[in-house]
Structure 1
Amino acid sequence: MKNDCHYHPGEPAKWHCGECLTHYCTGCMPDADTRKRHGLCPQCGRSMRYLGAATAVVPFWNRLSAFFRYPFHMDPLIVIAICTLVPMLLSANIVGLIVTLLLLVALFKYTYAVIRHTADGHMTPPPLATAFSGGGFNIVFLQLLVFILMGGVVFSGALIGGPLLAMLVLAFVILALPASIMVLAMEHSVGAAVNPMNLAVLISRIGWPYFLLYGYLILLTLASGAAQEFAVNHFAPQIAQPLAGFLNSTFTLILFHMLGYLLFQYQEELGFASDLQSDGMPEHDHPRDRSLRFDADIDMNLKDGNYDRVFSMLREVLNNDPGNAHRIGQLYLLLKARNDSTEFYRYHPRLLEWLANHNDATGLTELLVVLEKAEPGFRLENPELAVRCAGALYRHGEYKAVLKLLQDFHKRFPNSEHLAPAYLLVAQTLANGLQQWDKAIAFLKFIKKKCTQHPLQVQMDTYLAQAEKHEPLKGPRASFSGGVDVIRD
């Protein structure tokens, strides 16, 4: 059964908690270790079962073209070439026979390794060294033993029940042969590969796709035979023999890759877990980002409606890290959704700064309205923040909000270095936004008179000249030689 994440419908589940009966996707479990198959449930803290790619893998019938491309990677092509062409170059003596048999064993070892490699989530073939080094050569002899035992079972059926029972036993053996090959490749156990109950359980757990794959395997076998017959009948022996061997090996790799993929597709039903592997890229243990776990917990609690819990989590983080912009943004969205004016007022300096940094004039306007309701006549006590908020509002045409925010700025902050920028914004708002030129001129003259040491002083004559001509207040044109910061509209 394929399951979606409980919190993200449409996302395949990768973890399942048997205690909470909840499925989680990768996004819900950023701190889990998929390589070690270890993850703790965010709800109860108990170890969970890793589902691997069981819920996300593409059905084998949707990737037939990939199966046919599989043998044409570099590694399998070299294996096929060595095992097919080298015997042709050897002398017909005992040494040549031994080398040929060894190469045949290596080829079959490689094909069985393909099943295990694919079942483990590798969609590219095993490396060349798999065929010629390491252990696992006994798989060929184990398979021969399986064939002998299966033949003995059929023969025993004929002795006990006659031709009818023999035919029934033979039909089961033929039907269960792909399952037997899969079991042998995964477990390297002759007993498991010939146990009729074991094979019947595997077939029943996979269900009807097993029989669909069986049909594909029959077609592949027929196609392989037809291609080899064509090569033998239409080409000279020097060409036909290696071509037939190449075709036989190629179709065998395709067949075994399909068997491995069937195991990979139905891993959950078969009781193991594997995921798609990034072949060729080494895995490293990197420190896990704890903030991702925190984000996932917030997301799940929000979906469960635990808003108080989310607020407590954010409050605790902000107590330890007051300037964390990401958490401030999350807090703003939570308070906005809850329409919590009390907490809006408590955290308003950080929220206003966050909104100003994001140039969110709409959010600033809405929050200022909330603050006005919470405290009639509300005024910001931070002159720099007031100017930054006013600048964001001005850029989005919120002119009345700008004037209200900077009202009586010179009385509230008479010695502030932000007085000149604040009243320049007021002048630009009056002139450019409201076409009130006389009032704009008055504020510009105030800056010229009171802020004599401010860097903006050198630009006041230009602004005044523009205001007197009823031109937009944009200040002097940019210069790359003057070294003076220019405020533009």
Structure 2
Amino acid sequence: MKDYCQYHPLSAATFHCDHCAHFLCDHCVDHSKMPERCIHCGGKLESLGASNSAEPFWRRLQQAFRYPLASQSLTLIVVVSLLTSALSVLPFAIAIYLIATGAMMRYSFACLENTAQGKLTAPDITHAYEGGVVLLFQLLAIVVVMTAVVIGIEMAISEGLAKLVGVLFVLGFPAVIILFAINQSWLEAINPASILRLILAIGLPYGVLLGLILVMTASVSVLHEIIGTVDFLAAFLQSAVSNFYTVVVFHIMGYMIFQYQAELGFTARAEDGEALERSEMELHNARIDIALKEAQYNKVVDLFAEANSKFPDQASYYLRCFDYLCNVNLPERLSRFAPHFFDFLFKSERKEQVYPSYKRLLRALPGYQPEAPRLRHLLAEQCYSNGDARSTLKLLNGLHKQAPDYPRLVAAYELMCEALADMPNMGKQLAQCQQLVANIKRRAEQKAEARAAEVAARTEAAKAELAKTVTRRGGAPKGAKLIKPKREADAEQLNDEHLTHEQRVLGSRPTRIPSGVKPGAKKAEPDSTQAAEAESKPSTDDNDLPPIDFKL
């Protein structure tokens, strides 16, 4: 019975983890470490080879009969057939005949051994150059010993038992060849117990192999009856067909060893199987896949975060992580991830995905409100551009309280005014919002003027101190340049930085104090009419105004 992967039920198992007690396929194994490790627990694995993935040999009969058609194999078959056909009619050529036949047998065993190791293409013919005659005599010795055993049993025990052992040897001769190829021991190969154990381990397919061998042998006999052996061409054809079938049979026997490797006690993998080397990204995807199937939800999020750091150019990890968090019950992790996700969408120019993602986020986290004012503003712009004025107001309402120093506060509330104008029955709230925008601008101007006055005062003080220093030292030499003291330079730098900040808030450069007005000078008193108008106006300090009540 075949075993399948714990996490991929349609994939045959190639490893077993004793710690997890799970069967695993190549996709679930970390091949970057040797020996291989389980991705789930990190434990060492037991290789199962291709015992679960090898298809039955009878499904590969078409490939088996194409196996000897490789150029080198076919060349060897033709050459050996020509030699044996020519030498069979020549006197005193038995030695060369044995060498040629031994080379063919040695190559057939090389086909069996390579196939048993998962190499499903014909080997190089160099395997036929050495040991062919020795191998041929070993096989002849095995046949002689088997015959002697049968005769000995008949003489010592009984004729019936001798016939039974003889039948076992005849039917088990392919098993004898397989055992000899595996163990390289002719004693083990002719052991009746080993032969019987191998036949039982393979089961019914062994009978299919026997039937196939009988059909091939019968076809050679039929060919012999048709064309006879009266000339060289007939002998060559019979020899070529016989050698061709020999390579096919040895290849099939090797594949049976490969297919039933678990029962025979060794492991091997097909050379044309799935590549074991994988990139770091593929390995990381496998870790995510297994953690997800093990329901380790927090670990999945951690692996996505690690992937975002390792592979910043891969947008799929951000998208998959957001999709995953929206489908599982991890509100805290989703709330922490959402700002990073939207920041990624804006930076990667995926603005068309912002609004649908934000609405999906609200379904998972009703009432979600980003903490960063810039993100709230950007999300509000996307909501407004998609015709969702209500979401725009929810995002921007109260922003002046929570982030009074936000540089684009005026632009945010001007967007709120546009959203209010698009909604019915919002005239009162629109007027409040417009007044709030005016207040923010006025306060920014006041702060700019106060700051400019402070800077101007520092500048005048620095100049006065410089003048005193020059006077005490008897005046500056003719042609000398006055160097600004550090206090004056710092004041001017502070002035420039302040004006830059105010420019961002107001959208225009703040008004500086006229050069003719000294800092700290007393302002002209307004007339009585202006004072009365000022007292009649209500306080418009935006920090005293509550968030606008939209009743959404």
TM-score clears 0.5: yes
Amino acid corresponding to residue 179 of structure 1 in structure 2 = A
Structure 1: gaps spanning 5 or more residues: 431-449, 453-489
**Alignment map for 1:40-119 (pairs within 5 Å):** 40-88=37-85, 92-94=90-92, 96-119=93-116
Do 2:376 and 2:395's aligned partners in 1 also have CA atoms closer than 8 Å? no
3-state SS of paired residue (2:158)? helix
Does the 8 A contact of 1:70 with 1:124 survive in 2?
Answer: yes
Q: Partner residue of 2:22?
A: 22
Q: 1:23 is paired with a residue of what secondary structure?
A: strand
Tell me, yes or no, if structure 1 residue 265 matches structure 2 residue 259.
Answer: yes
1:390 partnered with 2:382: yes
Determine helix, strand or coil for the equivalent of 1:180: helix
Measure, in 1, the Cα distance between the counterparts of 2:389 and 2:286: 37
Question: Do the aligned residues in 1 keep the contact of 2:106 with 2:131 (CA within 8 Å)?
Answer: no
Q: Superposition RMSD on alpha carbons, in Å?
A: 3.9
Query: Secondary structure at 2:31's aligned position in 1?
Result: coil
Q: Is this contact kept in 2: 1:106–1:131, CA < 8 A? A: yes
Match in the other structure for 2:271: 277
Where does 1:294-305 land on structure 2 (aligned, <5 Å)?
Answer: 294-305=284-295
Aligned pairs for 1:131-150 within 5 A: 131-132=128-129, 134=130, 138-150=134-146
Q: Is the 8 A contact 2:40 2:287 kept in 1?
A: no
SS in structure 1 of the partner of residue 5 of structure 2: coil
Report the CA distance shift for 1:135/1:48 in structure 2 as closer, same or farther (over 3 A).
Answer: farther
Q: C-alpha separation between the residues in 2 aligned to 1:451 and 1:230?
A: 105
How far 1:89 moved relative to its partner? Answer: 5.0
Q: 1:77 to 1:402 in 2, by over 3 A?
A: farther
Among 236, 240, 247, the alignment partner of 2:241 is 247
CA contact (8 A) 2:105 2:132 kept: no
After superposition, residues 311-460 of structure 1 pair within 5 angstroms as: 311-315=301-305, 325-354=315-344, 357=348, 360=353, 362-367=356-361, 370=364, 373-375=367-369, 381-382=374-375, 386=379, 390=382, 398-400=386-388, 404=392, 414=408
Query: Which amino acid is 1:381 matched to?
Result: R
- Structure 2 gap ranges (5+): 401-405, 423-505, 509-552
Shift in Å, 1:366: 0.7
Counterparts of 2:8 and 2:86, CA distance in 1: 60
- Please tell me whether the aligned partners of residues 386 and 406 of structure 1 are also in contact (alpha carbons under 8 angstroms): no
1:42 maps to amino acid? I
Give the Cα–Cα distance (whole angstroms) in 1 for the partners of residues 215 and 390 of structure 2. 77
Show CA shifts across 1:229-263 (max 9, x none): 32327xx6121010010011111111111111111
Amino acid of the structure 1 residue aligned with 2:179: V
Deviations 1:9-55 (A, max 9, x none): 1111110123432100111114267xx8x312334543222112211
Q: Give me the whole-angstrom Cα distance separating, in 2, the residues matched to 1:131 and 1:15.
A: 35
SS of equivalent residue, structure 2 residue 140: helix
Instruction: Determine if the alignment matches structure 1 residue 309 to structure 2 residue 299.
Output: yes
CA distance in 1, matches of 2:53, 2:373: 53
The aligned residue for residue 160 of structure 2 is 164
> Where does residue 200 of structure 1 map in the other structure?
196
**Distance in 1, Cα, partners of 2:335 & 2:36:** 40
1:138 maps to amino acid: V
What amino acid maps onto 1:57 in structure 2?
Answer: A
Give 2:298's aligned amino acid: D
- Checking the alignment, whether the CA contact within 8 Å between 2:102 and 2:132 is kept in structure 1 is no
1:374, distance to aligned residue in structure 2 (A): 2.6
Aligned match of 2:3: 3
Equivalent residue of 1:27, what SS? helix
> Cα offset for 1:227?
2.6
How far the C-alpha of 1:193 sits from its partner, in A, is: 0.6
Bigger shift: 110-119 or 122-131?
122-131
User: In the alignment, what sits opposite 2:443?
Assistant: none
Query: Aligned letter for 1:343?
Result: R
Retained in 2: the 8 A contact 1:40–1:47? yes
Q: CA deviation at 1:165?
A: 1.7
Which amino acid in 2 is paired with 1:18?
D
| Pair 119,304 (structure 1): closer, same or farther in 2 beyond 3 Å | same
Q: Is the 8 A contact 1:220 1:251 kept in 2?
A: yes
Pick which of 160-169 and 116-125 moved more.
160-169
Number of positions where the alignment pairs a residue of Structure 1 with one of Structure 2 = 409
- Could you tell me how far 1:373 is from its partner in structure 2? 1.3
Code of the residue aligned with 1:62 in structure 2: it is R
Does the C-alpha gap of structure 1 residues 175 and 324 become closer, same or farther in structure 2, counting only changes over 3 Å? Answer: same
Report if aligned partners of 1:355, 1:364 keep a CA contact under 8 Å in 2. no
Residues 351-380 of structure 1, C-alpha deviation per residue, up to 9 Å, x if partnerless?
2245565654643431255566133x8776
Partner in structure 1 of residue 487 of structure 2? none
1:158-193 deviation line (CA, Å, top 9, x unaligned): 112332122111111112111110111222211111
Contact kept, 8 Å, 2:48 with 2:267, in 1: the verdict is yes
Are the aligned partners of 1:121 and 1:264 in contact in 2 as well (CA < 8 Å)? yes
Give the deviation of 1:336 after TM superposition.
Answer: 1.7
Task: State the AA in 2 paired with 1:163.
Answer: E
Equivalent-residue separation in structure 1 for 2:363 and 2:371 (angstroms):
9
1:344/1:169 CA distance change after superposition, 3 Å = same
AA aligned to 2:20 is C
Instruction: Please report the TM-score for the alignment, with normalisation by the length of structure 1.
Output: 0.72
Question: Does the Cα contact within 8 Å between 2:30 and 2:36 map onto a contact in 1?
Answer: no
Q: Distance in 2 between matches of 1:100 and 1:72?
A: 24
How far apart, CA to CA, are the structure 1 residues paired with 2:205 and 2:160? Answer: 28
**Percent identity among equivalent residues?**
27
More off after superposition, 289-298 vs 66-75: 289-298
**Shift in CA distance, 353/98, structure 1 to aligned 2, threshold 3 Å:** farther
**C-alpha distance in structure 1 between counterparts of 2:389 and 2:290, whole Å:** 37
The CA deviation at 1:402 is: 11
Q: Larger C-alpha radius of gyration, 1 or 2?
A: 2
Q: Determine helix, strand or coil for the equivalent of 2:27.
A: coil
CA distance in structure 2 between the partners assigned to 1:312 and 1:56 by the alignment: 34
Q: Distance in 1 between matches of 2:358 and 2:44?
A: 45
1:318 Cα offset (Å): 5.3
